[in-house]
Amino acid sequence: MLDQNRVAIAVAPNGGRRTKADHPALPITPDELAHAAAASLDAGAAMIHVHVRDRDGRHLLDAEAYRAATAAIRTRVGERLVVQITSEALGIYRPEQQMRVVLEARPEAVSLALRELLPDQTHETAFASFLETLRAEKIAPQIILYSPEEASYLAALAGRGMIPIDNLPVLYVLGRYTAGQRSSPADLLPFLAPGITASRYWMVCAFGGQETACVTAAALLGGHARVGFENNLFLPDGKLASGNQDLVAATKRAVEACGLALADADTLRGQWAAA
């Protein structure tokens, strides 16, 4: 039997916006991502959420770049981390470009922002077809939701038979990518309010120094945690983290102090497969 109560920690080590000017340990190259993956695995992570960059350090969606990053990570950690790529547009890519890169890269897992892949209702059929292809190709999707309204829209799509995967894993984003954003645990409550259809498997990410508090609150309520330099650079005590592994370790300590056990990569894969 799978232990559905084990908490998975995902590390999001770089994102598409920050640079080494924000933190010198922010990983950019495949080798740097592999180093961050190994350190985060040792600290308690079960998954790594990967962004890649072009030669000038700018956000990139490119199948070959994803394959290179994934190969470097796998060389360091084998199958001990789920490797999830992003399809984030960052205002650069159109839905059809995002979907094409995912299918060309053929990752183990991918995150999909609902608002990007479904900018309006005319994209619903293409989105449903894309999810069906992911299901057939055994690529695990995780849907990014920025508001309770988006969660309700996803539930409505499922109710209309537009979602070919039962109980899609989702990521609730507490806040926005804005300067000085600081999330708080209370930001999670609207996603869990009565009338909002809950996903069976949900994860939370948060911005700023209360990141650990936010994801620990999620864990206590049955969710899972995503932490890392993509959203936050600071430890709970306000000190600058030396690397992504510090944020993973802080989350591990907080979650285990609450009497919860951590999931490893194989447990996470099993949880998603059963979702």
- Residue 229 — very low, low, confident or very high, per pLDDT cuts 50/70/90? very high
Q: What are the domain boundaries of the chain?
A: 9-274
Cα distances (angstroms) measured from residue 3 to each of 7, 10, 15? 9, 17, 30
The candidate with the shortest Cα–Cα distance to 251, out of 220, 215, 218, 210, is: 215
**Rounded mean pLDDT, 168-197:** 88
Structure confidence by residue, pLDDT tens digits, 40-50: 999 999 999 99
DSSP-based three-state secondary structure for 260:
coil
Side-chain-side CA neighbours of residue 53 (13 Å): 20
Structure confidence by residue, pLDDT tens digits, 135-161: 999 999 999 999 999 999 999 999 999
Q: State the pTM of this model.
A: 0.96
- Give the chain's mean pLDDT: 95
- Residue 197 — very low, low, confident or very high, per pLDDT cuts 50/70/90? confident
Domain 9-274: homologous superfamily in CATH: Aldolase class I (3.20.20.70)
Beta-strand ranges (E) seen in 75-219 are: 82-86, 109-113, 140-145, 170-174, 202-206
* Element holding 52 (H helix, E strand): strand 52-53
What is residue 167's predicted lDDT score, i.e. its pLDDT?
A: 86
pLDDT at 1 over 60: no
Structure confidence by residue, pLDDT tens digits, 89-132: 999 999 999 999 999 999 999 999 999 999 999 999 999 999 99
